[in-house]
Homo-oligomer: A and B are copies of this chain.
Amino acid sequence: MLMSELLMKHDAPMDAYRQLFDGILSQRLAPGTKLNEVELTVLFGVSRTLIRQALQRLQLEQVVEIHKNRGAFVAAPSPDLAQQILLARHTIELAVVNLACERCTVGDVEQLQHMIDLEQSAIDQGDMATALRRSGEFHLQLAIVAGNQPFVHALRGLISQTSLIITMYSHGGGNACARDEHSLLLAAVSAGDQQQAQQQMAHHLGHIAAGCDFTQSPQMANLKGAFAHLS
């Protein structure tokens, strides 16, 4: 099989999943939004079978809630759950940076630095949704570098949920300092300084939590608007 064919070949179920995932993470689909199956079939051009597959997967990643006979909705973590999520991230990511300090190669550092730059360029363009998504990708890459598959798996869901939390509860600007924090974190990891890296990570995650107030409720969005670019 040619490389071009490999690149062209689109994996239908993954595509539907990715589109939905991106739609949610980029904040085009607000927490609580109902995800109607037939609407999604026409938007993505696949049958309900694949839509339901994607929705189930998103549910198991805790990004979507499915209520029996009622349908799927973009998850809207309660304040209590939100704090549980941030605590879980704290625990896992501290362990992750510890491992990353031991295993990070120069190639890894380059890639992580590149991701920081991409995040910053999104911030410079005022595209905070993209910046938020890229920030999550940086954290996930750190877990990949750490070389622990279960941590990667758990963090994938937790990071996505954190994006939802920030969408719902953060009163802006709270994560504008993210760039510096990511850079400081990477510097510590790159130097293999576990003590410093853990401190940076704890500080960074603390900032995210501090930027939320957990008293206001979220606004919804509608499906067609979120995927208007497709039709």
Contact = CB atoms under 8 A, between A and B. Distances in A.
Contact of A57 (B60, B84, B153, B154): B60
B57 A148 contact: no
B91 A149 contact: no
A84 B148 contact: yes
Prevailing SS type, chain A contact patch: helix
A158 B151 CA distance: 10
Contacts of A141: none
Contact of A148 (B62, B87, B95): B87
Contacts of A60: 57, 60-61
A61 B60 CA distance: 9
A53 interface: yes
A87 B95 CA distance: 10
Given A60-B60, A62-B150, 7 more contacts: A57-B60, A62-B153, A81-B149, A84-B147, A88-B148, A88-B154, A153-B157
Contacts of A157: 150, 153
A87 B158 CA distance: 19
A85 interface: yes
30 contacts: A53-B56, A56-B56, A56-B57, A57-B60, A60-B60, A60-B61, A62-B150, A81-B149, A84-B147, A84-B148, A84-B149, A84-B150, A85-B149, A85-B150, A87-B148, A88-B148, A88-B150, A88-B151, A91-B91, A91-B92, A91-B95, A91-B151, A92-B92, A150-B154, A150-B157, A150-B158, A150-B161, A153-B154, A153-B157, A154-B154
Interface in A37-86: 53, 56-57, 60-62, 81, 84-85
A51 to B, nearest CB: 13
Contacts of A81: 149
Nearest to A49: B49
Nearest to A62: B153
Contacts of A147: 84
A9 to B, nearest CB: 11
Contacts of A85: 149-150
